[in-house]
Structure 1
């Protein structure tokens, strides 16, 4: 394809993205088609001209149904799970000043296991075996939270005989019922919001509830209530580490409720997994760096007293229950020759300490 004409259908670009192991594909107005490979965004072809507004409109029309097109016209943006012969994609189309922008997250339809992802099995499995409480998976956009959640749900699906309910926006991984009965609901398709779906969920007699995103006060409040009333809740937040996650949960509540919420969280929290995907030294994709906080009496005490700043210290002494800080995980990956020192320093919480660790 030397002259790089614009392809006729979005599916042709998505096929390329899959073939070249990309995580995301971008078709923006006034820029050439681009992809994100191993965390790095670049044009697919270096000499491709920018897409015109006519090109992106034609591409958007190539895969949007009439009702989605109408919704895009009235709302200005749409997010949904798109499926074609090659698999599933998380699609986002927005109207902007110059035209339409399309972004696709390429979903790996085969659900990876806890071991395959590289999570510590002996510390993570106990978190999935509680009858109630809340487990949080946190990290920046594109840090593999959905993949981790899918692995946890898949493990529970095989390990228990219960009712699992997932609330997602949009549904990414499709679960077949194994040991458990699994129901999946999509926000905006089957229900208006996470909060509304969660309120409904409590009447559907689930044992395990997966909440795709806990973004607002009402959703967080309902998730905590569900965790307290005999459900195991798995949720995600866009926070960088365990202390920040707890601050984020507590900060959404009005000041006069904070003491009560701290007690609630200290009792219902089971664990927090915070993660990042770090480029490997060998250039072969990215590897998972993970921080794990397990709720112990010492952790619960810190949460109750609002002293989340003390958590990193407690995590360093909690190795016997599998606790590990992000910096410790990064150091282990450098020592094992998987990632570079530069990456570890760049991604660490305490850069000065990381510097001195490598000097010693």
Structure 2
């Protein structure tokens, strides 16, 4: 799109730049550098942005339309009126790269690749008999729309307006990128401006070869293509979005969309369709006992990416297969999908099925649950309601981002005001059943990861220590609690070293106490 041959004024350049920043495809830093270069070289800002690969043709067209007060048609968001789309004869539509979008009373709204071409607007008006309302559109998207309306054109018909991407880069399909994640045994796909797509494999980030660094326009296009209109609006209002996405027949993905340096970024984590058997996860046998409890609170904790969701899904699946109960889950987003087996399972997604964890939990006790899964205990109200549910005869599973069992207990208590903390200690001592803390460790052969897990079982001794506020003494009880199925993180790491699954070096990086770990490795026992 051009400005009808007029030289862009500095005020228009500022409007264009601000629009691109607000569209989340260009950072303010890059805009300032580009404007300085444009002044230094005495050339339009548009040429600088395109030459440096900072934005794509579609976003630049949208920005140019904004500067001259024209409507921009985004074909990924605007459905075409069937009659409007076929009103323009094919020969005229292809010659002037024009697509009928909709009717506005007696007028026809038409997206042009160059709405500043008065001859094209007149020609379309004469060919259709309508008064034309000219709008701007991406040259690539208009060419694609014409091929969908009239069939794929020959090279001669396409002329300068065919389907070749004007940005000179391949049009990336997010499904192809996600298929690479699955094929390479990866866990996450990272998309960020200025970098090629990156896949995490066995804990290590690896760029996808053969793909050039992506600009903000490309990232926005890739991500917005898989979001619903409601999700786009939520992201643009809140600047954050958690959602899920399904790669048909292959896997589900947990999607987080965010802004960084004014551009869209995203991370997509693979979630297998099939729920893994707990016995296949490499966790201690004591963990399975938690699925057989009639009531109480069970926490699964650990850093991001440590497999907490996988462990919880396996525990819920055991309940689902063995007991006739009602299971309610509150997740953000829903990750593993549970089918009704022996139990009835209802899964609620924050943002889609409920407004928040706390809001869902306020009502959950009226829904006749036996087992409740809380995706994450984030705030005082959520924690308080989860404790009440566990105390009143429900089995509650939940997660925390904590590094060990004592820290998890402190985290729960510290959320509450000082005057309530003794009451919470008593409540937690009565309702807590166990804590599983886990982390994934790269294996010695570099071909996978092994799980190291710490297990706390709520024995009478542990309950007394919680009630009396002597949390620091719990670790000693765990060290001597093997007969109750308890294991410390250092004991778990030492076992993995002795079995040759992980190296001593990485075990010492991840341990709680280096001297304890050294002694455990040398002694060959707990």
TM-score, length-scaled by structure 1 = 0.95
Alpha-carbon shift at residue 126 of structure 1 (Å) = 2.4
Equivalence for 1:185: 348
Q: In 2, distance between residues paired with 1:357 and 1:120?
A: 18
Aligned residues of 1:315 and 1:324 also touching (Cα < 8 A): yes
Alpha-carbon shift at residue 65 of structure 1 (Å) = 2.0
Matched, 1:100 2:264: yes
Give secondary structure in 2 for the equivalent of 1:119.
Answer: coil
Match of 2:424 among 261, 265, 269: 261
Q: Which runs of 4+ in 1 moved over 3 A?
A: 4-7, 355-360
1:220-250 CA-to-partner distances (Å, cap 9, x unmatched) read 0000000011100000000010000000010
Alpha-carbon shift at residue 208 of structure 1 (Å) = 0.3
Q: In 1, distance between residues paired with 2:481 and 2:266?
A: 45
Higher mean Cα deviation, 47-56 or 174-183? 47-56
Give secondary structure in 2 for the equivalent of 1:354.
Answer: helix
Aligned residues of 1:137 and 1:149 also touching (Cα < 8 A): yes
Equivalence for 1:160: 323
Q: In 1, distance between residues paired with 2:522 and 2:284?
A: 28
Q: Structure with the greater relative contact order (CA < 8 A, sep ≥ 6): 1 or 2?
A: 1
Match of 1:43 among 186, 192, 207: 207
Equivalence for 1:283: 446
Aligned residues of 1:28 and 1:56 also touching (Cα < 8 A): yes
Aligned residues of 1:136 and 1:272 also touching (Cα < 8 A): yes
Higher mean Cα deviation, 56-65 or 153-162? 56-65
Alpha-carbon shift at residue 119 of structure 1 (Å) = 1.8
Equivalence for 2:175: 11
Equivalence for 1:109: 273
Alpha-carbon shift at residue 284 of structure 1 (Å) = 2.0
Aligned positions of 1:33-182 closer than 5 A: 33-45=197-209, 48-85=211-248, 86-121=250-285, 123-182=286-345
Q: In 2, distance between residues paired with 1:323 and 1:274?
A: 11
Alpha-carbon shift at residue 72 of structure 1 (Å) = 2.0
Equivalence for 1:31: 195
Matched, 1:250 2:413: yes
Q: In 1, distance between residues paired with 2:228 and 2:176?
A: 18
Alpha-carbon shift at residue 42 of structure 1 (Å) = 2.4
Aligned residues of 1:90 and 1:107 also touching (Cα < 8 A): yes
Give secondary structure in 2 for the equivalent of 1:23.
Answer: strand
Matched, 1:202 2:365: yes
Equivalence for 1:20: 184
Alpha-carbon shift at residue 353 of structure 1 (Å) = 3.0
Q: In 1, distance between residues paired with 2:521 and 2:312?
A: 33
Alpha-carbon shift at residue 84 of structure 1 (Å) = 2.9
Match of 2:505 among 318, 337, 342: 342
1:159-201 CA-to-partner distances (Å, cap 9, x unmatched) read 1111001110000000011110111000110001111111111
- Count the aligned residue pairs: 355
Aligned residues of 1:9 and 1:62 also touching (Cα < 8 A): no
Aligned residues of 2:490 and 2:517 also touching (Cα < 8 A): yes
1:279-329 CA-to-partner distances (Å, cap 9, x unmatched) read 111222101100000000110011011111111110111100110000000
Equivalence for 2:496: 333
Alpha-carbon shift at residue 114 of structure 1 (Å) = 1.1
Match of 1:213 among 371, 376, 401: 376
Equivalence for 1:224: 387
Higher mean Cα deviation, 296-305 or 92-101? 92-101
Alpha-carbon shift at residue 96 of structure 1 (Å) = 2.8
Aligned residues of 2:490 and 2:516 also touching (Cα < 8 A): no
Distance 1:120 1:5, change over 3 A: same
Equivalence for 1:353: 516
Q: In 1, distance between residues paired with 2:359 and 2:270?
A: 28
Alpha-carbon shift at residue 48 of structure 1 (Å) = 3.8
Q: In 2, distance between residues paired with 1:316 and 1:219?
A: 31
Give secondary structure in 1 for the equivalent of 2:441.
Answer: strand
Q: In 1, distance between residues paired with 2:177 and 2:228?
A: 18
Larger radius of gyration: 2
Aligned residues of 1:30 and 1:98 also touching (Cα < 8 A): no
TM-score, length-scaled by structure 2 = 0.66
